[in-house]
Structure 1
Amino acid sequence: MKLFHAPGSPYSRITRMAVIELDLQDRVAVEEATLRDPASVLLPFNPVGRVPSLVLADGTTITETTPVLMMLDALVPPERRLLPGADRPRALAAYGRVLGMMDGIAVWNRELRRPEHERSPGVIALEALRAVRVADALERDAATGVFTQRDAAWFALVSLLGYCERRHTIFAWRLARPALAALFDAAQSRPSVAQTVPPAGPAR
């Protein structure tokens, strides 16, 4: 199998960390792909052109973070799987919140990459407010033990905060959120986290 990723993508970073955590490096080759590129090596496998994309042995391509995690989880015993199930609704809810915030941060960041005269102040204000609101909810989750297990919710959160730390520095996510800051800082020594740090983005 082959996992296509982009180094700056927080979505594909979740799955890259999963490959390491589940000890699947000998079964899943990880390959970098360019995005928004008509010559990208990804496009023959996935015409959507998004990462993560997992190409199976028969050529079937699974895309989007959660379906890719489902396929990776299927390769290991149930007790090692990363996606929380219906028996852990708080972790599943937190996972969904993290992905929702990641979507909003991506929109916000994309707006800031446009020339100033093409930016939408309304979109930026909406996504900035959403980010604060969700980050506050995630702070409460972290403070009440929702992220004590290293599952998909934990890795998604670390990936999200790592993206903000390196590529969306305009968002002061650490402010008044000590539980999130402590979780993120403690996570940095974990091999799967240390080996997938995204490149720094332009200053904003």
Structure 2
Amino acid sequence: MRLFHAPGSPYARITRMAVIELGLEDRVAVEEATLRDPASVLLPFNPVGRVPSLVLDDGSTITETTPVLMVLDSLVAPERRLLPGPDAPRALAAYGRVLGMLDGIAVWNRELRRPVHERSPGVIALEAVRAARVADALDAEVAAGGFATMDAALLALISALGYCARRHTAFDWREGRPALAALFDAAQARPSVARTVPPAGMGGTAPPVR
């Protein structure tokens, strides 16, 4: 199998970390692809042109983070799987909250990349408030013992915070959120995290490629 990614994509980073955490590096070749490029190596496999894209041995291409994680999970024993199921509603809810925060940050960042006269102050304000509100809730959850298990929710959280730390510095998620900061800092020693650190964004922001 082949997993296409872009180094700056927080969505693809979740799946790249999953490959490492699940011990699938000998079964899944991780390959970089250019995006928004008519000559991209990705397009023959996925005309949508987004990452992550997982090309299966039969030629099928799975795209978007959660479906890719579903396939990766299917390759390991049930007790090692990362995606929480309906029997773990709190973990499933946490995963959804983090993805929701990341989607909002992506919209916020995209607005900041526009020329000043084309930006929507209303959209920027909405997404800034949303991101802060979700981050506050996540900090409280971490302080209460949440995100203590290596699963998809934790990988998504580390990826989202790492994206903000290096490519969307307009959001100072550390301010007033000590539990979230401590969790993020402790995770940096994990091989899956250390080996997938995104490049820094020029000027403090970079588009959240998918």
1:137 deviates by 1.1
Give the conservation status (yes or no) of the 8 Å contact 1:15–1:65: yes
Q: Read off the aligned partner of 1:26 and give its amino acid letter.
A: D
CA RMSD in angstroms, aligned pairs only:
0.7
Q: Which AA in structure 1 matches 2:180?
A: L
Deviation at 1:122, TM superposition (A): 1.0
Q: What is the TM-score normalised by the length of structure 2?
A: 0.95
Output one character per residue of 1:138-168: Cα deviation in whole Å (capped at 9) or x when no partner: 1111111220001000000000000000000
The letter for the 2-side match of 1:8 is: G
Runs of 4+ aligned structure 1 residues displaced above 4 Å come to none
In structure 2, the gaps of 5 or more residues are: 205-210
Secondary structure of 2:153 counterpart: helix
Give the count of matched residue pairs. 204
Check if 1:66 corresponds to 2:66: yes
Q: Distance in 1 between matches of 2:95 and 2:131?
A: 15
CA drift at 1:65: 0.3
Aligned to 1:18: 18
Q: Which has the higher contact order (CA 8 A, sep 6+)?
A: 2
Instruction: Work out the CA distance in 2 between the residues paired with 1:67 and 1:118.
Output: 34
When structure 1 is superposed on structure 2, of 93-102 and 112-121 the one drifting more is 112-121
CA contact (8 A) 1:169 1:203 kept: no
Q: Percent identity?
A: 81
**Partner residue of 1:57?**
57
State whether residues 85 and 92 of structure 1, in contact with CA within 8 Å, keep that contact through their aligned partners in structure 2: yes
Q: 1:2-41 maps to which residues of 2 (within 5 A)?
A: 2-41=2-41
Gapped runs of 5+ residues in structure 1? none
Distance in structure 2 (CA, Å) of the matches to 1:84 and 1:146: 14
Task: Quote how far apart the aligned CAs of 1:202 are.
Answer: 1.8
What SS does the aligned partner of 1:40 have? coil
Q: CA deviation at 1:41?
A: 0.9
* Equivalence for 1:91: 91
